[in-house]
Amino acid sequence: MSRLVVVSNRVATPTESKGSAGGLAVGVFGALKDTGGVWFGWSGEIVGEGTANAGPEIVQDGAVTFATVGLSRRDYDQYYRGFSNAMLWPVFHYRNDLARYDRQEYAGYRRVNAWLAQQLLPLLKPDDVIWVHDYHLIPFAEALRLAGVKNRIGFFLHIPFPAPQVLLNVPPHDELVKSLCCYDVVGFQTESDLVAFGDYIVRQAHGTVSRDGRTVDAYGRSLRAGVYRIGVFPDDIAAQAKRFETRKDVRELKASLKDRKLIMSVDRLDYSKGIAERFRAFERLLETAPELQGAVSLVQVAPPTRADVQSYQHIRQNLEYEAGRINGRFSGLDWTPIRYLNRRYDRWVLMSLFRASQVGFVTPLRDGMNLVAKEYVAAQDPDDPGVLVLSRFAGAAAELDAALIVNPHDILDMSEALQRALTMPLEERQDRHRKMLAALRRNDLGVWRDTFLVDLRAVRPGMP
């Protein structure tokens, strides 16, 4: 079978790919190991303060080549911090109010994509299959095509694809969708993302889309589109959660809870995750069910990301204020309602905490999929499982409909769901968990990866 080349904004290290990072890195590495291949992208390093980038640094690990480049301060500012995270991320999550457009940043975004494509060229073989990931790299295939690359190139969008009326807020929306159509296969997380893409193609680009949404003709090209729901490896997570249950950190947390119930939330510190609304729902719970004061704690793990983007500084301040306000209002001498932790924990700690908790509280305002929801379900003890309270706006809600589904804008709805979760009888918890675990097994990370790659390999090079 031909080699696989994976291109993503960030590249995991060989160690991370073998387990410590979990999730996506492990799934992608599995596919690379099978056929041999290259994982190419940004190292995460900013090289100097000027405009010169640093060409690929190569690390070989068996049949897999890790090739990472460094970005200059200017390119980081324009491509990553600017157009990707201050324009595309907010609009694709329906937060036009937070979007900031700057033509120079957009030019930088395209320039970096073209430069990255040039860096990959010498590493490519004619029959390589190329799989590009996420919104940072929409113009990547176009740049490769301009350089004469005829290989099969697929793209997977990890975040939502917005409705056309929302996408119009991105000034160069037409150029972006045109760039997307340079791929042979474009994958989305959910049916509604695929439908939104098809709507844009028909209404804005005046192209055509087949009835099932899978064959797209636009901008003089023909491509495949599809839904590939990203998943997890549930058995690995369960084993990890169980194995580390008795480790020191987890024992200490349990001891400090003194038999109080535990609600767990884990998110990157991001305004799309609905953390402020979640805090208010927990506050409402303590108001409406005063018997729970002193009897339940919310642990919110929220490692900061994109801290140099202004809207992330605002959300961080707001959350500090909200957590402080609620804790000031309800704390007792030996109980703090919200434990708000702005740091990253090892993956095994999180999985064990999920297992030790009674409720997983996952309420994004918008989310492509949300792997935390799936990890929470996978980590539970099937004999005595916790309950998942899940936003209807997470892609995962389509599969995990046996969760308690809530609207994250409706504070009362969320607080009622929490109360129901905390008092749910064992049999109902087991029944809901069984259904959700079956959904995770049907569509695990391997299924996501393999169905995408089967579709991509089925395309005739240069002619889908």
Active-site residues, by number, are 158, 367
d(CA 60, CA 308): 33
> At its nearest, how many Å lie between ligand GDG and the CB of residue 364?
8
Under the binding rule (CB under 6 A), the answer on residue 81 touching ligand GDG is no
Under the binding rule (CB under 6 A), the answer on residue 347 touching ligand GDG is yes
> What string marks each residue from 117 to 156 as x (binds ligand GDG by CB under 6 A) or -?
----------------------------------------
Under the binding rule (CB under 6 A), the answer on residue 456 touching ligand GDG is no
Stretch that binds ligand GDG, among 9-17, 105-113, 368-376, 423-431 (CB under 6 A): 368-376
Q: Which of 250, 369, 417, 440 binds ligand GDG (CB under 6 A)?
A: 369
361 has which bridge partners?
389
**For 163, which DSSP code?**
P
> At its nearest, how many Å lie between ligand GDG and the CB of residue 391?
11
φ, ψ (nearest 5 deg) of residue 412: -65, -45
Q: Which of 94, 219, 335, 345 binds ligand GDG (CB under 6 A)?
A: 345
Stretch that binds ligand GDG, among 288-296, 332-340, 346-354, 403-411 (CB under 6 A): 346-354
Per the listing, tokens 């402020």 go with 276
Under the binding rule (CB under 6 A), the answer on residue 344 touching ligand GDG is yes
Query: What would the DSSP string read from start to end of 226-280?
Result: EE------HHHHHHHHHHTTTSHHHHHHHHHHTT-EEEEEE--B-GGG-HHHHHH
Under the binding rule (CB under 6 A), the answer on residue 280 touching ligand GDG is no
Closest-CA residue to 229 (of 129, 130, 160, 137): 160
Q: Which of 370, 391, 415, 443 binds ligand GDG (CB under 6 A)?
A: 370
Q: Which of 82, 368, 385, 464 binds ligand GDG (CB under 6 A)?
A: 368
If one counts every other C-beta atom within 10 angstroms of the C-beta of residue 247, the result is 13
> At its nearest, how many Å lie between ligand GDG and the CB of residue 221?
25
By beta-carbon proximity to ligand GDG, the closer residue of 136 and 145 is 136
Which tokens sit at 158? 């990890």
| Number of residues located near ligand GDG, criterion CB under 6 A | 22
d(CA 160, CA 185): 17
Which amino acid is present at 66?
F
> At its nearest, how many Å lie between ligand GDG and the CB of residue 267?
7
Under the binding rule (CB under 6 A), the answer on residue 446 touching ligand GDG is no
Which residues does 146 contact at the CB level (< 8 Å), separation at least 6? 114
d(CA 48, CA 26): 31
Under the binding rule (CB under 6 A), the answer on residue 375 touching ligand GDG is yes
d(CA 394, CA 371): 10
Q: Write down how long the chain is.
A: 464
**Span 231-250, contacts to ligand GDG by CB under 6 A:** none
Compute CA 431 distance to the chain's CA centroid, rounded to the nearest angstrom: 27
- Name the helix (H) or strand (E) containing 415: helix 411-422
Under the binding rule (CB under 6 A), the answer on residue 69 touching ligand GDG is no
Under the binding rule (CB under 6 A), the answer on residue 266 touching ligand GDG is yes
Under the binding rule (CB under 6 A), the answer on residue 399 touching ligand GDG is no
Under the binding rule (CB under 6 A), the answer on residue 417 touching ligand GDG is no
Under the binding rule (CB under 6 A), the answer on residue 101 touching ligand GDG is no
Runs of H (alpha helix) within 121-209 = 140-146, 164-167, 173-180, 191-199
By beta-carbon proximity to ligand GDG, the closer residue of 372 and 387 is 372
> At its nearest, how many Å lie between ligand GDG and the CB of residue 93?
8
Under the binding rule (CB under 6 A), the answer on residue 366 touching ligand GDG is no
> At its nearest, how many Å lie between ligand GDG and the CB of residue 300?
11
> At its nearest, how many Å lie between ligand GDG and the CB of residue 359?
17
Under the binding rule (CB under 6 A), the answer on residue 6 touching ligand GDG is no
Under the binding rule (CB under 6 A), the answer on residue 157 touching ligand GDG is no
> What string marks each residue from 283 to 312 as x (binds ligand GDG by CB under 6 A) or -?
------------------x-x---------
d(CA 433, CA 440): 10
Closest-CA residue to 131 (of 109, 152, 159, 158): 152
> At its nearest, how many Å lie between ligand GDG and the CB of residue 25?
10
- CA 84, 85, 86 angle in degrees (round to 5)? 105
d(CA 439, CA 231): 10
Burial of 5 (0-12, 13-18, 19+ CB in 10 A): buried
Q: Which of 185, 298, 326, 372 binds ligand GDG (CB under 6 A)?
A: 372
Residues in contact with ligand GDG by the rule CB under 6 A? 22-24, 158-159, 230, 266, 268, 301, 303, 344-347, 350, 367-372, 375
